[in-house]
Amino acid sequence: MQLAKVLGDVVITRKDENLVGLKLLVVQPLAADGSHVGRALVAVDAAGAGVGETVFFVRGKEASFPWYPTEVPADAGIVGIVDHWDLG
């Protein structure tokens, strides 16, 4: 899992039928100190996240696991919303 900040929504008029009804969000991966790491990407939302929230996301085949047995065509998926974290 990796931390990310939700930057915005993705609106699509035509998409794969297995993505119908699922929310797509643009996320910016974060380092543990909160700085940006790498490029922003689109992730399928399984946690009900919104713009401005910090989230956990997964990459690869695990991104589709929340919708099993439906095979969602996703490379990144939001699986949790972060309340806070401490490097303490």
5-31: pLDDT as tens digits = 999 999 988 989 989 999 999 999 999
Q: Enumerate domains of the chain plus CATH numbers.
A: 2-81 (2.40.50.220)
Instruction: Give the global pTM.
Output: 0.92
* Residue 85's pLDDT band (cuts 50, 70, 90): confident
pLDDT at 1: 87
3-class secondary structure per residue, the chain? CEEEEEEEEECCCCCCHHHCCCEEEEEEEECCCCCECCCCEEEEECCCCCCCCEEEEEEHHHHHHHHCCCCCCCCEEEEEECCCCCCC
88 has pLDDT over 80: no
Beta bridge partners of 79: none
pLDDT at 60: 92
Mean pLDDT calculated for residue range 37-51: 96
